[in-house]
Structure 1
């Protein structure tokens, strides 16, 4: 008499735990990526009605209210700003940088940096904070 086994070993793999791990990794990377873009120089960014959240550019030009320029938190004289930007963005396939200017910064200082971007065909983003 032949007896049949009721408990069969299943060769299938459950993906439920894998989706949990992927979800936790996604949350971890979202939280850490926003912490990376913090700068040591504090400026109060202007407010905009809406902001598009995009990838943070590693290169940023910060303009303080007193007209001082910083590239990656290092002070750069106005006369040397263009050369420093060209050297920093040289060799990149799609050269891009972000302007971080205090809301009380003179408009002419921001336009000066925008003219450098236009002259060298750099892509440009202006950092703002979302209006509440």
Structure 2
């Protein structure tokens, strides 16, 4: 005598729950990505401790808000800045300099000086406000 099972196991897979999960994940990532991009507007410059601020480099490049460049308090034209920095740092075993940029300086002026450091493999430090 052959007995039949009353409960048959279905081999079908329901995709309804999977689409719900994907939809919820999509909404979650859309909300978090927009929140991250909006919070990037409030950028504050880092503050250095007194030990970090005492490091001295042989050269300091100062960039004013009107785009003037100074190397060790001597005004240098933008076109001559690279050659002047190479001459000042030539002979140092660890050539490095510090960028002191006004908070209202144009970003491309700072990137220009950083490009000089990258081209000649100079170490670079960016001046910050000292914590009190």
**TM-score normalised by structure 1 residue count:** 0.61
SS at match of 1:110: helix
Q: Find 1:48's aligned residue among 30, 43, 46.
A: 46
Unaligned 5+ runs, structure 2: 1-43
Q: 1:53 offset after TM fit, Å? A: 3.2
Q: State the partner residue of 1:96.
A: 96
Between the aligned partners of 1:53 and 1:97, the Cα distance in structure 2 is 13
Q: Does residue 58 of structure 1 match 2:58? A: yes
Which structure has the highest helix share of the two? 2
CA contact (8 A) 1:48 1:130 kept: no
SS at match of 2:104: coil
Q: State the partner residue of 2:121.
A: 121
Between the aligned partners of 1:48 and 1:131, the Cα distance in structure 2 is 9
- Aligned CA-pair RMSD: 1.7
Between the aligned partners of 1:64 and 1:119, the Cα distance in structure 2 is 23
**How does 1:23-34 map onto structure 2 within 5 Å?**
none
Q: State the partner residue of 1:77.
A: 77
SS at match of 1:105: coil
Q: 1:122 to 1:86 in 2, by over 3 A?
A: same
Between the aligned partners of 2:72 and 2:53, the Cα distance in structure 1 is 20
Between the aligned partners of 1:113 and 1:87, the Cα distance in structure 2 is 15
Which of these two proteins has the greater Rg computed from alpha carbons? 2
Unaligned 5+ runs, structure 1: 1-45
